[in-house]
Structure 1
Amino acid sequence: MTTVSSFAYDDLSIGQKAQQTKQVTEQDILLFAAVSGDCNPVHLDEQYAATTMFKERIAHGMFSGALISAAIACNLPGPGSIYLGQELTFTRPVKLGDSLTVELEVLEKLPKNRVRIATRVLNQNNEMVVDGVALVLAPKKSTEVNMPSAPQFIQK
Structure 2
Amino acid sequence: MKYTEITPGYIYVEERVITDEMVRKFADITGDDNPIHLDEDYASKSIFKSRIAHGILTLGLVSAVLGRKFPGPGTIYLKQDATFKRPIYIGERIRIRVEVLEKIEEKSRLLLSTEVLNEKGEKALVGEALVLFREEEVE
Query: Which of 108, 112, 134 does residue 117 from structure 1 map onto?
Result: 112
Letter in 2 for 1:128: K
The total of aligned residue pairs comes to 138
**Per-residue Cα deviation, 1:82-136 (whole angstroms, up to 9, x for no partner):** 1111111111010011101100100011241111000010112111111010010
- State the partner residue of 1:153: none
Query: Which of 9, 14, 26 does residue 3 from structure 2 map onto?
Result: 9
Q: Identify unmatched segments of 5+ residues in structure 2.
A: none
Q: What is the CA-CA distance between 1:8 and the residue it aligns to?
A: 3.1
Query: Which of 70, 77, 81 does residue 87 from structure 1 map onto?
Result: 81
- State the partner residue of 1:31: 25
Give the TM-score taking structure 1 as reference length. Answer: 0.83
Q: What is the CA-CA distance between 1:51 and the residue it aligns to?
A: 1.9
Query: Which of 39, 61, 64 does residue 67 from structure 1 map onto?
Result: 61
Percent of counterpart pairs with the same letter?
Answer: 40
Residue 8 of structure 1 contacts residue 142 of structure 1 at CA under 8 Å; is this kept in 2? no
1:128/1:14 Cα in 2 relative to 1: closer, same or farther (>3 Å)?
same
Give runs of ≥4 in structure 1 deviating > 6 Å: none
CA RMSD of aligned residues (A): 1.6
Residue 8 of structure 1 contacts residue 138 of structure 1 at CA under 8 Å; is this kept in 2? no
Secondary structure at 2:107 match in 1: coil
Distance in 2, matches of 1:17 and 1:143, equals 24
Residue 134 (1) aligns with residue 134 (2)? no
Secondary structure at 1:42 match in 2: helix
1:142/1:8 Cα in 2 relative to 1: closer, same or farther (>3 Å)?
farther
Which structure dedicates a bigger proportion of its chain to helix? 2
Distance in 2, matches of 1:134 and 1:53, equals 30
Q: Identify unmatched segments of 5+ residues in structure 1.
A: 1-6, 146-156
Secondary structure at 2:64 match in 1: helix
